[in-house]
Amino acid sequence: MIEIATQDTDWWKQSFIFRSPNLLRIQKQLLEDLFEEKTLRSLKSRHPAAARWRLCSKIVSQGGIIKWSEQGHETPLLAEAILDAITFVTVSAGDVQQMQLFDLSGYGDSAVQAKLRSRINNPSQFKHLMVELSVAAWHQGIGHHITPFEKEGWPDIRADAPGFEYPVFLECKRVEVLSNQRIAKHIQNANRQIKEVGTSAYGVAVLDVTGAIGSKLAPISDEKPPEIVQLIDAAREAISGPKNRCISRVLLIWDESGIFGNPPERTSIFLRRNVASIDHDPLVGVIMIPPELPLFGGNTIELPFNFSKIEIDTLQISDLMKECSSWFGFTTDELIDAFNRRDKWERISVASDAGYVLFARQTTFKGRPSYTIALGRQIDHTLHLQFAIRIPFCLHNDVDLLSPLEMLQVTIERYGLLVTIGGIRGRFVLRHSFEAETSDLSSFFHIHNPSNHDLLLSLLVKITPRDSVFAVDSALVFALDRTRLLMDLM
């Protein structure tokens, strides 16, 4: 079981939809089996496997919890790791269902093995190697017999498909620069290499252009990116007419990855490996590929997360919250229960921190229906509470169908004192920014309290020096009149 948490709002337990319940531990072990220790563990390592290993290790050490605010943006690495793991397991003739390697020493001859050893731990060569291995794994996965080559001037792979007249020779390249000329040059080189073998074959140039256009962090779409349209035109030009007649087909491959949704709504990460096919003009000397011969169908990895709440068990309170507890007689257990079983909640921006939640819990107080409304921030299993207010019975029906922020505003309009801050006057001031000549609060903030009643003051303000003035960001400012509010609660 993997768990995911949104550390800036709530923690969420995830029911991970995947064949193995120990996915992250399996991925971590696969990485450790495949790569040298220094490749994974060195803090200076720029190898793609190092970032994946660090993420898997961190989540495993957290007991299977993903801290979404800190690690959510990294989760596409999990899809990359899984897709590469499937490749390695397939070419090793291992168990894909259980993600278990068999024996990579069976992939190719001694020259191929030497290439694997020299490139797998090399951060600049690893992704180039993976283009070849992923294509080989795809063919092997559909039952084609694979012969990898490591011979000067030859293509990378021979694939023999039962029932077809010729073998398939594939030359695989990872393209790092978005250039029509570079595409034409790679196709020309692939043509020369396939011709060098001296055997009639279906010749295929496989060009992974992800490095040139970047992995697209966008919703999956069947529309081709404009960069791909440009490269398709360049490939078509390179195999038009009598040019490069040993190339029967060009395959352009590119990746899209990203995150759908946002916790606690349904959220998933995905990686889609797309392919575009460009056939040579049907000319004398070109061996055309039969339509029924599969050459590469792409891959899609999608990992969906389903969320349910993980409850807090510890409470930390601000000085303002201490006053609230004294005013309203809150207990620690009551406040924890109000958060864990809240009826409504919404995110509230406090200064530059978007991690606060305003939540409401329907309760009874002195035998009458009431609401507790509070502002807090969750870190791990601890709720850091800024304030909490009881809403009197007389307002219950007025606020029952409102959002938490609207409930708070109605309560403050009823029981609040007028305040002035930065030229704005009102009972409820939300997200107001201005400049002041001094950092002295009394110069720009004032409470209008003619009856000199006891009050509860929320003054969430950040003051930052800026050149010769001070930037003031006020997030949530109000002053509750204790006398009138407690009178209606009694």
DSSP result, 128-194: HHHHHHHHHHHHHHTT-EEEE---TTS-SEEEE-TT-SS-EEEEEEE--S--HHHHHHHHHHHHHHH
Domain boundary among the residues 253, 287, 308 is at 308
Residues 257 and 287 in one domain: yes
Domain that holds residue 57: 3-308
> pLDDT at position 109, please?
92
Residue 238 tokens read as 């390179």
Closest CA to 268 of 302, 313, 315: 302
Residues 166 and 289 in one domain: yes
Task: Yes or no: say if 460 and 474 are a contact pair by the CB < 8 Å rule.
Answer: yes
> pLDDT at position 155, please?
96
With H, G, I as helix, E, B as strand and everything else as coil, classify residue 72.
helix
Q: Cα dihedral sign for 435, 441, 444, 446?
A: positive
d(CA 458, CA 430): 11
- Residue 242: CB atoms within 10 Å: 10
Residues 302 and 326 in one domain: no
Predicted confidence pLDDT, tens digits, the chain (490 residues) = 233 333 333 322 222 333 334 678 888 889 999 999 999 999 899 999 999 999 988 887 766 667 776 777 888 888 899 899 999 999 988 877 777 777 888 899 999 999 999 999 999 999 999 999 999 999 999 999 999 999 999 999 999 999 999 999 999 999 999 999 999 999 999 999 999 999 999 999 999 999 998 765 556 667 888 999 999 999 999 999 999 999 999 999 999 888 877 766 677 888 888 999 999 999 988 999 999 999 998 788 888 776 655 678 889 999 999 999 998 999 999 999 999 889 998 877 765 555 688 999 999 998 899 999 999 988 778 889 999 999 999 998 999 889 999 999 999 999 999 999 999 999 999 889 999 999 998 899 999 999 999 999 998 888 889 888 999 988 889 999 988 998 888 8
Task: Yes or no: say if 238 and 192 are a contact pair by the CB < 8 Å rule.
Answer: no
Closest CA to 17 of 303, 308, 309: 303
Distances (CA, A) of 62 to 2, 7, 77, 380: 10, 13, 17, 10
Residues 235 and 338 in one domain: no
Task: Yes or no: say if 296 and 135 are a contact pair by the CB < 8 Å rule.
Answer: yes
Domain boundary among the residues 274, 308, 342 is at 308
Residues 35 and 167 in one domain: yes
Residues 76 and 198 in one domain: yes
Residues 417 and 340 in one domain: yes
Domain boundary among the residues 278, 308, 338 is at 308
Residues 270 and 326 in one domain: no
Look at the chain and report how many structural domains it folds into.
2
Residues 347 and 475 in one domain: yes
Residues 293 and 323 in one domain: no
> pLDDT at position 37, please?
94
Phi, psi of 444 (to 5 degrees): -135, 5
> pLDDT at position 104, please?
86
Residues 197 and 344 in one domain: no
Residues 359 and 484 in one domain: yes
